[in-house]
Amino acid sequence: MGSIRWAFRCGSWTPARADWLLAARCVQPEEKDRIGKFVFAKDAKSAMAGRLLLRRFVCERMNIPWAHIRLKRSPRGKPYLAAPLQTWSFNISHQGDYAVLAAEKGVQVGVDIMKTVMPGSNTVPEFFRVMTRQFTPYEWRVIKSADSEQHQLAMFYRHWALKESFLKAIGTGLGFNLQRLEFHLSSEALTQARVLCQTRMHLDEEAEESWLFQESLLDADHHVAVALGHSTVSINPPSSLPPPTAFTLLTFPDLIASASPLTEEDPAYWESFQTKAEAPVRQR
């Protein structure tokens, strides 16, 4: 199987002591330490789920024993295997209530998830004014043509997820002018029932035929975009890939089904986690 789409709902995950300590034992020590430094529990849970998703994928699909998996990060934070197998490309994202993983054989892949939320301290028009430079005039016309502020925000985050998925696929972050990218959306409505792949990207005002974008909803508020690009091993160009598959929602037992502990149990790690507030208080 050459296409993986997994999701884990971090927002409703309330780990028991045994689960959190087991999760901490099943990731690399430096990742455990990094996760422990998050101020809020929501961020710690999302990061932990992301690492477990990655390790489960590498173990089960690349057939590397859990204890032998060595993950590193690029200077821009993109995870990669220390000893990669070139047939697979993978990427993770976590935002809102979910962590997601997308993986593909033979092509570049990037994934981004965005939750539609009202601005914390700005009105929607003021929020859009601050974000003006992130989208082209054409994209702003599409965003603002929606019939309510909630639908305009949903369209905003849909465009944002598309742009981020492309940047993550090519490994570029800060410094890329997002107005170089312009997305022309599918005319079909985005629903939870199916994955759309008709959206097209223009780069520097030229249509990019070598990139394919798959869009879906995990629920009414969470947009997911998967960018599939140039072949990494001269097989399976995006245009020849099989029909897209929806994201499979995993449970915590699913995440650790193939896991083996890498370190000893650290009771202080649970005590530290318990002191964290779930999330910052949003102000309006």
pLDDT tens-digit map of 125-169: 999 999 999 999 999 999 999 999 999 999 999 999 999 999 999
What is the CATH architecture assignment of 3-274? Alpha-Beta Complex (3.90)
Q: What is the pLDDT of residue 230?
A: 73
**Exposed / middle / buried, residue 284 (Cβ in 10 Å: 0-12, 13-18, 19+):** exposed
For residues 6 and 53, is the Cβ–Cβ distance under 8 A?
Answer: yes
| Both tokens assigned to 153 | 């925000």
> So where are the chain's domains?
3-274
Q: pTM of the prediction?
A: 0.92
Exposure string of 107-145, with b = 16+ CB inside 10 Å and e = fewer, is bbbbbbbbbbeebeeeebeebbeebeebbbeebbebbee
State whether residue 151 is helix, strand or coil: helix
pLDDT tens digits along 34-70: 999 999 999 999 999 999 999 999 999 999 999 999 9
Confidence of residue 234 (pLDDT cuts 50, 70, 90): very low
Instruction: Give the pLDDT mean for 22-39.
Output: 97
**In this prediction, what percent of the chain has a pLDDT beyond 70?**
92
Q: What is the pLDDT of residue 87?
A: 82
